[in-house]
């Protein structure tokens, strides 16, 4: 059984990107971050992205707005960044305050600078298998984990637990692509699925993205399954200083005993998202030259 080390794989990707950026002569890639309000999690995520960009040699430009910023003001900045030839990628940190529609905001970003892959055009391109689009960082990270762990997907049965727009559906579309990784038979399950264990037990590869702590139990998987656990759930834990610990959607110990590969939580899919954001930014930069 192999525990898939997301930190190590993310680190390899960051090193590859650092070398590639280091070899650039002339212009350097630039990513713009937009943060609205001071949600502590958002502050921490954006800081992490800034630090990773700095390590790689990608310039980041942080734009801050107060929680009550008007949509017009936010969109004016997005328009200006879209028009700025020096800016290659634009990331708007979610969640946005309730008075600003997220889908509309993500769609305001030029698809060619949408390094988060949330623009409708990039989602459509994923469905059309048009490689010019950007793939959202979490599903892109899942694919990298699978590929770099040597897990074969061709003709395998991938079961995706969860049908979200951000993870489940794009992961399913990627796994069914006419490509490597891809070429898998794909089943998408969700809250309405009947006899779920019967379905998940067919999985050669199980991608769990339903946001329910320890939902996947050992009886729900077959011997030799490869498990990608996308869940990041807080469960109360009085023994921890902060009062909780993070667990995935998969009951790790029991499922690991049957699995060929499994991602831990934390340290599995999580670290990949920032690496894939940087990967997308460098791609946007290269496409713009």
Assess whether 204 carries a catalytic annotation. no
The residue from 5, 93, 114, 229 that is catalytic is 93
Question: Could you give the angle at which helices 270-288 and 40-56 cross, rounded to 10 degrees?
Answer: 50
For residues 10 and 186, which CB has a smaller minimum distance to a copy of itself in the complex? 186
**Residue 2, strand partner residues:** 261
Cβ partners under 8 Å of residue 16, min gap 6:
none
For residues 62 and 94, which CB has a smaller minimum distance to a copy of itself in the complex? 94
Q: What is the CA radius of gyration of the chain?
A: 19
How far apart are CB 158 and a copy of itself at their closest, in Å?
10
**Contact with a copy of itself (CB under 8 A) among 41, 85, 150, 178:** 178
For residues 85 and 155, which CB has a smaller minimum distance to a copy of itself in the complex? 155
**Contact with a copy of itself (CB under 8 A) among 55, 163, 212, 258:** 163
**Contact with a copy of itself (CB under 8 A) among 22, 40, 98, 155:** 155
**Contact with a copy of itself (CB under 8 A) among 3, 24, 199, 256:** 199
- Footprint on residues 62-101 left by a copy of itself (CB under 8 A): none
How far apart are CB 22 and a copy of itself at their closest, in Å?
35
What CA dihedral angle connects 99, 278, 268 and 95, to 10 degrees? Answer: 0
**Residue 31, strand partner residues:** 60, 89
Assess whether 49 carries a catalytic annotation. yes
The catalytic residue positions are 49, 93, 116
Q: Which residues are near a copy of itself by CB under 8 A? A: 103, 119-130, 154-157, 163, 165, 169-170, 172-173, 176, 178, 183-190, 192-194, 199
């Amino acid at each position: 059984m192999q525990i898939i080390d997301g930190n190590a794989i993310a680190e390899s990707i960051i090193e590859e990107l650092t070398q590639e950026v280091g070899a650039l002569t002339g212009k350097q890639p630039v990513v713009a971050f937009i943060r609205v309000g001071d949600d502590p999690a958002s502050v921490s995520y954006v800081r992490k992205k800034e630090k990773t960009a700095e390590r790689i040699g990608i310039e980041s430009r942080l734009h801050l707005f107060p929680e009550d910023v008007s949509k017009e003001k936010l969109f004016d900045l997005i328009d200006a960044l879209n028009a700025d030839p020096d800016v290659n990628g634009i990331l708007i940190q979610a969640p946005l305050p309730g008075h600003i529609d997220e889908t509309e905001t993500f769609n305001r970003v030029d698809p060619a600078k949408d390094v988060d892959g949330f623009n409708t055009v990039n989602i459509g391109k994923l469905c059309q298998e048009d490689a010019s689009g950007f793939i959202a960082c979490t599903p892109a990270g899942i694919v990298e984990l699978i590929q770099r762990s040597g897990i074969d997907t061709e003709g395998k049965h991938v079961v995706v637990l969860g049908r979200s727009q951000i993870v489940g559906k794009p992961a399913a579309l990627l796994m069914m692509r006419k490509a490597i990784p891809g070429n898998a038979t794909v089943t998408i399950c969700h809250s309405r699925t009947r006899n779920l264990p019967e379905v998940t037990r067919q999985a050669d590869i199980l991608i769990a993205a339903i946001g329910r702590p320890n939902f996947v139990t050992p009886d729900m998987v077959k011997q030799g399954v490869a498990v990608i656990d996308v869940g990041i759930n807080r469960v109360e834990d009085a023994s921890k200083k902060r009062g909780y610990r993070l667990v995935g959607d998969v009951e790790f110990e029991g499922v690991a005993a049957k699995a060929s590969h499994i991602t831990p939580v934390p340290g599995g899919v999580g670290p990949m998202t920032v690496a894939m954001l940087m990967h997308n930014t460098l791609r946007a930069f290269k496409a713009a030259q």
